[in-house]
Amino acid sequence: MRKVLSGHPAAGRTVHALSLEVPVAALTLREVLDLDPVRASEPELLAGQAALDRPVRWVHSSEVYEGANYLDGGELLLTNGFGLTGADEETRRRYVRELAARGAAGLAVEVGRSLPRMPEEVTDEARLLGLPLLALHRVVPFVRITEAANRAIVARGLSGRSVVRPWGDDHTAALLADLADRAALNQPEVEARSALAGFHPGPGARLIGVSVHGTREVGAVDRAVRVLGGAGVMRAAFPGDVLALLALPAGRPGDPIRTVQEAFRAAAEPGLTVAVGHAVDAAGGWLRWSDTLRTARTTLELALTVPAAEPSVPDGPLVTSARALALERELTRGGVDTNRDRLARLVEHTLGPLLAWEAAHPSDLVRTLEVHLRNGCSPTRTASRLHIGRQSLYQRLERIESLLGLEIDDPDLLGELLAAACAHRVVRGMGVAAVRGLRTVA
């Protein structure tokens, strides 16, 4: 008679409010074997009885010779056994050793179709190594097993990791935290967890990360999503920000970054700071999802620590983007302390006379220079951004050129002048940034 496998009651877990590390009991192999689709396959345990309580991080199905190459540790591997049929004894033993060396939680082999019975050398090697080995005697589509098992893993404790639970037991928050921190994930896991959170980006969708400071509520994100119309979203409140991943459907006209920025300008309350990451292809993989969230958060830190280049809209939110602060991010790449002296030298070398003038006379020449350069040296746009008349702007520009001894619209000087003016703002904000621990995108 085959050995009947039964699971133990799921271990409990403790959920705390706010941002606390929550130890969560991972789903064990014994509990995976007690799931209905697994039980329907009539599993027989041939080896590894002592390891049934080891945690299972994920369940994969794969041909036997391909599977080991994709394991990170803690996975249960399902195979139909076809790859074992023509292999010699040493090849079969070596494969079992490779699975054990990669930290697999177990191997489950379908027997009766491609493989009439489990090869003795496979069973023997698994017993020697203590690797759980299962013979599945009844055909059950692997997709049913993997879907049931992986959803159970996600629901239990998100693969057994200690995760940040910002405001309670929230799968969406935990996934966003893992993506923003670039935790050890894989694509099937991210897809299953995002589906569990109700996030289903369609074909061709563009994903955009957003980080909002100044509130512990997700209302601003929800209102922006309503303004966008048809956009999907995952969002959660964290102690330092509200983090969101938006999905704009394929075929939507216009610039996706500008579209999202305008939606938040219309929906966010005055006093909030909103940072928008890059637009990435939803089909580009979970690392791209992570990139846009991480970029949104580092952009938010820059927005909070570096004075803005242009005056903000009165009585409205500050909404910026990663591309708007691209130069600031490049100047601080590698960290604040690493760049402090270099940026100070750049500012002094390029803008020294302006700084000396501003120290002795109330003026706004450096800022005027930067806004002028950022607006393509257009007097009309510059005067509008600074809220001054064109005549006052011309007087400032003449003073700047006189002090620096150059023409500020000289194409050869534009890059250096803009970098130095931006570096001046960064240096001014470095004191606050050092306290906050400013990070930059690598």
Domain ranges of the chain: 20-157, 202-324, 329-436
Do the domains 20-157 and 202-324 sit in the same CATH topology, yes or no? Answer: no
Between 3.40.50.150, 3.40.50.1010, 3.30.530.20, 3.40.1390.20, what CATH number should domain 20-157 receive?
A: 3.40.1390.20
pLDDT of residue 1: 35
Fold of 202-324: Alpha-Beta Plaits (3.30.70)
Residue 70 has a pLDDT of 60
| Residue 59 confidence (pLDDT) | 85
Angle at 190 between CA 188 and CA 192, to 5 degrees: 65
Sign of CA dihedral 30, 34, 35, 39: positive
Tokens of 351: 């803008």
Under the phi-then-psi rule, with left for phi > 0, alpha for psi from -120 to 50, and beta for the rest, what region is 388? beta
Each residue's pLDDT, cut to its tens digit, for the chain (442 residues) gives 344 443 332 333 232 223 333 344 578 999 999 998 899 999 999 999 999 998 988 888 776 555 565 677 888 999 888 878 888 899 899 999 999 998 899 999 999 888 889 999 999 999 999 999 999 999 988 878 887 887 777 666 543 443 333 433 467 888 898 898 887 678 888 888 888 888 999 899 999 999 999 988 999 999 999 999 989 999 998 877 899 999 999 988 999 999 999 999 999 999 899 999 999 999 999 999 999 999 999 899 888 888 888 766 667 899 999 999 999 888 888 776 778 889 999 999 999 999 999 889 888 899 999 999 999 999 999 999 899 999 999 999 999 999 999 999 899 999 999 999 999 988 887 654 444 444 443 3
| CATH architecture assignment, domain 329-436 | Orthogonal Bundle (1.10)
Which of 104, 38, 97 has its CA nearest to residue 70? 104
